[in-house]
Chain A
């Protein structure tokens, strides 16, 4: 049986208690997206401020939810801040691949395409895979980021 220590790592609890980039950004210029987990009621708001070169100058997250969704949002914001949209998308792909329960089965296929990324703090969330119902909590902020980046790419 997967033990809770695989889930509630110290780094995760630190991000939960001291979330990075928590708050709001003015829209516009920032883009805002809201994500919901209809099963459990978690809500995440992501603001991204993207400059003319396509770099995420600033990011903020809000909303409420469990330690997994909140810490993942905090880590996500730290991981993509200052990165280009392409880099942020690659990090998101890498994170979502890590969260995929089918990952082992797809490993061989994915090996070529998988971006070579050091997940840093993010790898602390790897244990979530052992708790399948919590995967949705971990990926909520990332899907919301994709939504915000998608909105940013769209001409307003």
Chain B
């Protein structure tokens, strides 16, 4: 059964907002998604009803707060197919999850000359933590190149990963929308004895996710792109890997014993969750995955494939050669992220023109400067879609793009 998008839209209070008397067309979910009332209500209920610190008090409220947090952890583990809830480590966002991995696993497993393999389409969150280890430890980075159509070029994969200690690849590009063959790369990485990490920030919100099927050892993702609040992200890792990793931040909750001479670490997941966690945000993210499950991730994906196909068809029909859509041509091989170039209008100017019609898109380098350098552009205008977008939003986007002609005198 296909989704009733009008009804879904109605679940998101912000989407009914008007600015200057005109409806809002939100096409920037790859930056951050909107939040359904279910998420807002869960967080509000937590604060009004069960707020207390977790893992400490014996009183009723503290027990409720701890139950709410652990219930959310279990829901999130189920959502990504994690074999154990204690493998879900809460962080501030995907960026912190990546840094946790780089600082903890990286510093204890890598030394001078060791190779980490990335791709040219990574977000800075999966680049800069490794650059930091280049500076600190002298590791070597290798880059899987991309093809002209914005897919990974795996022709030389065997040579690139030969001798590597870690392969870290985004499951879906936040600029090109490309869905990468994570399973294939993970199998190749494991065949040479490397650990496989994936950045699931754009993947987990939009596709049914099973970390075991993906074949990865660890995955980072972020709550605010998947209908959850800001300030909460996840590092998932296999029990074996996480147990072997040293702690990242030290403090309360992450210890078993502390004396004047030292400390011992707590069990998973607490070993990596120093200090009071973002309890309300965790509860909110738990509500977000339950909301997504109630829609069905297969259905969410199906809707986005057909909407992406509609958008690509519409834009191509209306603008022909004047408009370029970066990334894979086939909707089935990509997500609903459309990086656009229209005539010679700079992406900033385009997003400014679109803003006049309340069409929200993102212009810039999307925290993927190495990719911009490979593409030979400084910025792109990116429209990105989620489960609450419909064909009318796409039509509004196309109308707004056309209006740029008047302002820049390019009509006719």
Q: Are B408 and A41 in contact (CB under 8 A)?
A: no
Q: Are A13 and B378 in contact (CB under 8 A)?
A: no
Q: Tell me, in angstroms, the Cα distance from A134 to B369 when the chains sit together.
A: 20
Stretch at the interface among B102-110, B289-297, B314-322, B345-353: B345-353
Q: Are A64 and B378 in contact (CB under 8 A)?
A: yes
Q: Are A41 and B352 in contact (CB under 8 A)?
A: no
Q: Are B348 and A7 in contact (CB under 8 A)?
A: no
Q: Tell me, in angstroms, the Cα distance from A64 to B380 when the chains sit together.
A: 13
Cβ of B155 under 8 Å from chain A: no
Q: Are A41 and B369 in contact (CB under 8 A)?
A: yes
Q: How far is the CB of A74 from chain B (nearest CB, A)?
A: 14
Main secondary structure of the interface of B (DSSP, over half): mixed
Q: Tell me, in angstroms, the Cα distance from A4 to B379 when the chains sit together.
A: 21
Q: Are B372 and A66 in contact (CB under 8 A)?
A: no
Q: How far is the CB of A148 from chain B (nearest CB, A)?
A: 21
Q: Tell me, in angstroms, the Cα distance from A125 to B364 when the chains sit together.
A: 22
How many residues of chain B get a CB closer than 8 Å to chain A's CBs?
18
Q: Which residues of B contact A42 (CB under 8 A)?
A: 348, 378-379
Q: Which residues of A contact B378 (CB under 8 A)?
A: 41-43, 64-65
* CB within 8 Å for A65 and B364 given contacts A4-B353, A4-B356: no
Cβ of A39 under 8 Å from chain B: yes
Q: Which residues of B contact A70 (CB under 8 A)?
A: 346
Q: Are A7 and B352 in contact (CB under 8 A)?
A: yes
Cβ of A137 under 8 Å from chain B: yes
Q: Which residues of A contact B73 (CB under 8 A)?
A: none
Closest A residue to B403 by beta carbon equals A4
Q: Are A67 and B364 in contact (CB under 8 A)?
A: no
* CB within 8 Å for A66 and B364 given contacts A41-B379, A43-B378: no
Q: Which residues of A contact B347 (CB under 8 A)?
A: 66
Q: Which residues of B contact A13 (CB under 8 A)?
A: 408-409
Q: Tell me, in angstroms, the Cα distance from A4 to B349 when the chains sit together.
A: 10
**Binary interface profile of B, 43-67, with partner A (CB < 8 Å = 1, else 0)?**
0000000000000000000000000
Determine which of A39, A43, A65 lies in contact with B346 in the assembled complex, contact meaning CB atoms within 8 Å: A65
Q: Give A residues with C-beta under 8 Å from B.
A: 1, 3-4, 7-8, 13, 39-43, 64-68, 70, 131, 134, 137
11 contacts between A and B (CB under 8 A): A1-B20, A3-B356, A8-B349, A8-B408, A40-B363, A41-B364, A41-B372, A42-B378, A66-B348, A68-B349, A70-B346
